[in-house]
Amino acid sequence: MRNKINLWTITTIAALVLEGWALYVVSLSPAHWRSSMIVKDEPAAHALYDKMIETMRQAESLSYQSVCSGPDDRDRASTYNILLKKPNYFHVEMSNVLSGYSTIVGDGDNLWFYWKGVRPFSAYEDKDSYEKTRANVYIKKATPIGRYSIRDQVNLLGTTWFGIILDPSIFHGHTDSLETYIDGIRSRGTDYAENEECEVIEVSFMKAQLTRYFWISKQDHLLWKIKEIVRLANNKVEVEEFSDISLNAVISQQKFSWSPPEGWQQWEKPGPDDFLLKPGTKAPDFELLSADGGKIKLSDYRGKIIWLYIWQCGSPSCREAMPHLQKLSEKYKDRGLVILGFNCADDKRIAKNFMRENSVTFPNILDSSHTAGKVIFDGYKNRSGTVPLSYIIDTRGNVVDAWSGYEEDNKRALAALKQAGIQPE
Amino acid sequence: MRAYELIKETFCRKIYILIIHLSWLSLYGGFWWLFLPMGNEFGQFIFIWGGFFLALALSAGIFGDDISSGRICVLVTKPFWPGELYIYRLLGLSLQAAVHFILAWCVIFILHTFIRQGSMNGLVLWLFASWLLFNTCAALSTSLSVVVGRAYNALLLLIVIITGFVVVGTMMAYLKQHSETEALLVSYFRFVCPPFEMLYKFAGGEYGKYSLTVGRFSLAKSVACVVHSLILTVVYSIVGIVLLSRRQFSSRRD
């Protein structure tokens, strides 16, 4: 009888321990897993990564097809047929369900972006101007060798669910803007991609805010697949798969020339600043969750000059700006300036860690709810989701100036603060 | 021998059980044939139909019918421990489901080979998750059958779960601004109720986003999901066994 009781007691305790462990593991936030994803550099894996970049840069020509999709979301995939040639030629054909067919041609000096039929409507333009420019238009931009990014051009248009991960401009000598934020590169063994035997390497950026896995062919060091994980409030996973890869093949020069047919007009894509609230407009009030767990109401700061700063951990510019903002906050807080950070994209724990690492003490909204997203998208008209984004709001709650991006000298910010009533030194 | 008879009885007790199995299998086949879904979409379909609805259909009146007819008095006489009856019946349901999911895989495999379209990627994981969900739901429904007469246990569970989803969904929408209350409620429903969300994420490879991303899913988190689901099945069963052991049954028909 006693043995039976002992057996039951042991079994119950074991089950409770097991369940406790299971609940602990299941309820761990993505941020916990993120810290374990920061990669320590392995020289051999790093050399493999460099070799892959080098192989792309050494080639005279390169062509491939890339399919970008979610891991289980092939229906919304985008297909890119890419032709690259030295010194500065490229031809990219893009197709997906959302935006139909579009083409970018780089003729050596300029890029030409045009659509077959009607161009797609992007969320951050108004209906009237779209109606006027929806057909027979093209974009033209200068392409100085190694100083432009094809990926940025494709992705900035915002008409795909899944943009390119590997920047084709690397072939022309361009350096990926994230390169300086690599934590480390390590090997993850071998795997097959499209029946090609590959070495898999893992690269983490910005303390694993972003991780990329590269499937590199053992045979010729060309890339066959990339998987990217962006760790925000909701983690985003995207896969880019390559096929029909051809290195140093002859590509007709005709592919790299295009001129607009008669009657077509040049179109300037509206920039993120074009939609922001204009000076003099009332800044919309809101009440949202703060970093310390309380609530922040914008109108509670009435009588102070507010620099509303919308940021995100994954943006290199935001990371660069944060220490400078902290200094400015300390310098001007006695003169009536409140810098109010606003982050509605990141997991709260990730954002808090980032603030701690940068010794940020100014108030911050950390709220990834739908309401917070609406405040930024509809209230403050950040239709393009650009970060960093700044609003200077005067003592009466009116917008003095608004702009996107970060300037190291804070020229525009200081001018706006002066206009709002703060005398910079 | 007794165990075998009791397990066999869960399959043979009603003719409609065989019909349910056959119609469910043809439903899977029909869904595949008509819509040619990708692995995950089909997995979601089988997860709900096989993991939840099949559990309700097979466990309907599993004890309630015997209690209502008075047959239970014959079954739970000494030296027969009532818990044994419960365990073997639940085991019978679980084994039926295991065979059912293996047959489902065979049906899809044959169709896949025949029409050479669609994808079976990740299907095995979805079938495994469906089986785990089946066990949890079957245990809950079987325990409910001890206290609810005839075959109303399945109907009651269906209504409670659908109402629960609607109420919780509405509450979550209202509680968006009260993150702590929302988190508390979410934890309660995640860990105490049948693990729909957890197993759904487990089968869909959701946890893979956070750790072993080259592989399909994170081992630690996936093992935790399976462990939690099995322990929940045991907890629901213990409640049912206690209820069955303590109830006084009448040999008279309702």
A34: nearest Cα among A201, A204, A181, A189: A204
pLDDT beyond 90 at B97? yes
Burial degree of B128 (CB within 10 A; 0-12, 13-18, 19+): middle
B233 reaches A (C-beta below 8 A): no
B178 reaches A (C-beta below 8 A): no
Number of domains in chain B: 1
Please report where in the chains the tokens 């940020």 appear, as a residue: A360
What is the reported pLDDT for B145? 92
On whether the CB atoms of residues A82 and A240 are closer than 8 A, the answer is no
pLDDT beyond 90 at A393? yes
Q: Identify residues of A whose CB sits under 8 angstroms from chain B CBs.
A: 15, 18-19, 21-28, 30, 33-34, 36-37, 71-72, 74, 188-189, 191, 200, 202, 211, 213, 227, 229, 235, 237, 289, 369-371
Provide the residue type at A72 as one letter. Answer: D
Q: Which residues on A lie below 8 Å from B193 (Cβ)? A: none
What is the reported pLDDT for B210? 39
* A213/B224 Cβ within 8 A: no
B40 reaches A (C-beta below 8 A): yes
Could you tell me which residues are beta bridge partners of residue A265? A137
* A15/B231 Cβ within 8 A: yes
B224 reaches A (C-beta below 8 A): yes
- Indicate whether B166 belongs to any domain: yes
**How many angstroms separate the CA atoms of B149 and B69, rounded?**
10
Average pLDDT over residues A7-11: 86
B221 reaches A (C-beta below 8 A): yes
What is the reported pLDDT for B212? 40
Residue of B nearest to A372 (CA): B177
* Beta-strand pair A61-70/A305-310: unpaired
> Which range has the worst mean pLDDT, A76-80, B51-55, B180-184, B214-218?
B214-218
Average pLDDT over residues B136-149: 92
What is the reported pLDDT for B12? 83
**How many angstroms separate the CA atoms of B244 and B144, rounded?**
10
Token pair of B180, please? 């702590």
Owning domain of residue B139: 2-246
B245 reaches A (C-beta below 8 A): no
Average pLDDT over residues A317-321: 88
Considering only the beta carbons, identify the residue of B40, B176, B224 that sits closest to A25: B224
Sheet of strand A337-343, all strands in order from the earlier edge strand to the far edge? A364-366, A337-343, A305-310, A389-393, A399-404
SS3 A20: helix
What is the reported pLDDT for B180? 64
pLDDT in tens, B30-71: 988 888 776 567 888 999 999 999 999 999 988 888 888 877
* A202/B209 Cβ within 8 A: no
Q: Which residues on B lie below 8 Å from A19 (Cβ)? A: 227-228, 231
E strands, A149-222, in order:
182-193, 196-205, 210-217
**How many angstroms separate the CA atoms of A227 and A350, rounded?**
21
Please report where in the chains the tokens 């979550």 appear, as a residue: B172
CA distances to A71, A146, A188, B34 from A195, in Å: 18, 33, 18, 30
- Indicate whether B253 belongs to any domain: no
The residues, ordered by sequence, that sit 6+ positions from A227 with a Cβ below 8 Å of its Cβ are A71, A212, A213, A237, A238, A239, B213, B214
**How many angstroms separate the CA atoms of B24 and B107, rounded?**
11
Burial degree of A5 (CB within 10 A; 0-12, 13-18, 19+): exposed
Residue of B nearest to A369 (CA): B176
* B227/A18 Cβ within 8 A: yes
B38 reaches A (C-beta below 8 A): yes
pLDDT in tens, A196-242: 889 989 999 888 888 899 999 999 999 999 988 887 766 778 889 99
Average pLDDT, chain B: 83
- Rounded to 5 degrees, φ, ψ at A139 are -110, 140
CA distances to A2, A205, A230, A326, A347 from A354, in Å: 56, 14, 15, 13, 11
The nearest CA of chain A is from the CA of B120 a distance in Å of 12
Residues of chain A with pLDDT > 70: what percent? 95
Q: Which of B177, B193, B201, B209 to mutate to test the interface with A (most CBs of A within 10 A)?
A: B209
Total residues found in chain B within this entry: 254
pLDDT in tens, B166-213: 888 787 777 655 656 766 777 777 788 888 888 888 887 654 443 444
**How many angstroms separate the CA atoms of B193 and A113, rounded?**
53
**How many angstroms separate the CA atoms of A261 and A137, rounded?**
10
The residues, ordered by sequence, that sit 6+ positions from A405 with a Cβ below 8 Å of its Cβ are A317, A386, A388
pLDDT in tens, A238-296: 889 999 999 999 999 999 999 999 999 998 877 778 888 999 999 999 999 998 888 99
Token pair of A22, please? 């299971």
Residues of chain B with pLDDT > 90: what percent? 38
- Indicate whether B173 belongs to any domain: yes
What is the reported pLDDT for B209? 41
Interhelix angle B123-147/B196-204, nearest 10 degrees: 170
B228 reaches A (C-beta below 8 A): yes
Average pLDDT over residues A350-356: 86
Looking at mean pLDDT, say which of A48-52, B42-46, B216-220 comes out highest.
A48-52
SS3 A394: coil
* A369/B176 Cβ within 8 A: yes
**How many angstroms separate the CA atoms of B76 and B43, rounded?**
40
pLDDT beyond 60 at B81? yes
The nearest CA of chain B is from the CA of A92 a distance in Å of 29
The domain defined by A43-270 folds into outer membrane lipoprotein receptor (LolB), chain A (2.50.20)
Residues of chain A with pLDDT > 90: what percent? 47
- Indicate whether B251 belongs to any domain: no
Q: Number of Cβ pairs closer than 8 Å across A and B?
A: 72
DSSP for A403-416, please give it: EES--TT-HHHHHH
Is the model more confident about B136 or about A189? B136
Q: Domain ranges for chain A, please list them.
A: 43-270, 274-420
pLDDT beyond 50 at B214? no
* B225/A33 Cβ within 8 A: no
Total residues found in chain A within this entry: 425
Residue A131's pLDDT band (boundaries 50, 70, 90)?
Answer: confident
ipTM greater than 0.95: no
Bond from prior residue into A30 cis (ω within 30 degrees of 0)? no
On whether the CB atoms of residues A215 and A242 are closer than 8 A, the answer is no
Q: Which of A21, A33, A348 to mutate to test the interface with B (most CBs of B within 10 A)?
A: A33
- Indicate whether B20 belongs to any domain: yes
* A71/B205 Cβ within 8 A: yes
Is the model more confident about A119 or about B102? B102
* B176/A370 Cβ within 8 A: yes
On whether the CB atoms of residues A311 and A321 are closer than 8 A, the answer is yes
**How many angstroms separate the CA atoms of B164 and B187, rounded?**
15
A75 membership: H or E segment, kind and range: strand A73-85
Average pLDDT, chain A: 87
Q: How many helices (H) and strands (E) does chain A have?
A: 9, 19
What is the reported pLDDT for A247? 93
pLDDT beyond 90 at A126? no
> Which range has the worst mean pLDDT, A10-14, B60-64, B212-216?
B212-216
The nearest CA of chain A is from the CA of B68 a distance in Å of 33
* A369/B213 Cβ within 8 A: no
pLDDT beyond 70 at A34? no
What is the reported pLDDT for B217? 46
**How many angstroms separate the CA atoms of A200 and A216, rounded?**
6
Residue A395's pLDDT band (boundaries 50, 70, 90)?
Answer: very high
Is the model more confident about A63 or about A381? A63
CATH of the structural domain A274-420, one choice from 3.40.50.720, 3.40.50.300, 3.10.20.30, 3.40.30.10: 3.40.30.10
- Rounded to 5 degrees, φ, ψ at B34 are -80, -40
